[in-house]
Amino acid sequence: MLEGKNLKKQYHGREILKGIDISVEAGKIVSLIGPSGSGKTTLLRVLSMLDPANSGAVIFEGQEYKFPMREENIIPPWPRISVVFQQLFLWPHLTLKENILLPLGGVQESKQMEELIDLFQMRGFIERYPNQASLGQKQRVALVRALVLNPEYLLLDEITSALDIEQVGIILNYLQGLKNKGVGILLVTHLLNFAKRASDQIVFLDEGQILERGDANILKNPDHPRIKKFISLIESAS
């Protein structure tokens, strides 16, 4: 299990996370929704320990990391925990294919990679450089870069924002397959149908606090007026 307890994070004196409790179990999908600036991306970075919390604890497979703590005392949990960032951060000097291959440590070809390239329909652009690819193409590459490392926990930040319905469907099916294999997934998304279909738990975050959590019903019948407003805004926009 990957768990965060009472996680707090400040940037420049502004409190971004105000004591978050969250857990992602193996073989479960948790969707994190909330308005822009609510702290979703920060939560992903803090929970993955890429960005240490100011206080609170992260528990990964029984190992507890209490913050604040020195970075060198963290036993690197990556790529067992893997993150796909919203901004993707593909290395610009490498082709898209090299971006996937580099973390594989000199492996020239990977069967899994080749399968994923075909599955996500990437064959036509995989030899391009990041600046020659569209956002949707880069989103798929960043996802595959994480998937080929076979993570136990996968934290995904808005990775489908530039994809069409067909590609979102392919990714959703693939994530459900991963879930069945025991991978724990935390998914930041604005796609409510995607969240409803995929998630075991939905967590609504606003201004650094969790307002509500539960199954897909919290999106159908939300208690909190803030969530009602957010859902109606998203539905009217889509």
Partner 1 sequence: MSILDIIINYREGLLSGLLVTLELCLIIWFSGLVIGTLLGYLGAKYKIEIGGPSRAISFILSGIPVLVLLFWLHYPLQAMLQININPFLTAAFALSIINIFSISELVRNALANFPAEYNMAAKVCGLSHKDTFTKIELPIIMRQIIPTALNIQVNMLQLTLFASLISVEEIFRVAQRINSIIYKPIEIYTALALFFLLICLPLNGIAIWFKAKYTRNISES
Instruction: State which H helix or E strand residue 230 sits in.
Output: helix 225-237
**Which one among 17, 38, 41, 85 touches partner 1, defined by CB under 8 A?**
85
Give the residue, chosen from 19, 27, 79, 136, that forms a contact with partner 1 under the rule CB under 8 A: 79
Closest CA to 141 of 97, 182, 177: 97
Instruction: Tell me the H-state helices in 33-133.
Output: 40-47, 96-101, 111-119
Cβ closest to partner 1, residue 78 vs residue 174: 78
Does 130 bind partner 1 (CB under 8 A)? Our answer is: yes
Collect all residues with Cβ–Cβ distance below 8 Å to 225 and sequence separation of at least 6. Answer: none
Residues that contact partner 1, how many (by CB under 8 A): 25
CA 43 – CA 58 distance, rounded (Å): 11
Cα-based angle 3, 186, 131 (whole degrees, multiple of 5)? 130
Which span (22-30, 81-89, 114-122, 216-224) binds partner 1, by CB under 8 A? 81-89
Give the binding range for partner 1 (CB under 8 A) out of 23-31, 85-93, 173-181, 183-191. 85-93
Which residues bind to partner 1, rule: CB under 8 A? 48, 50, 76, 78-79, 81-83, 85, 87-93, 102-103, 129-131, 138, 145-146, 149
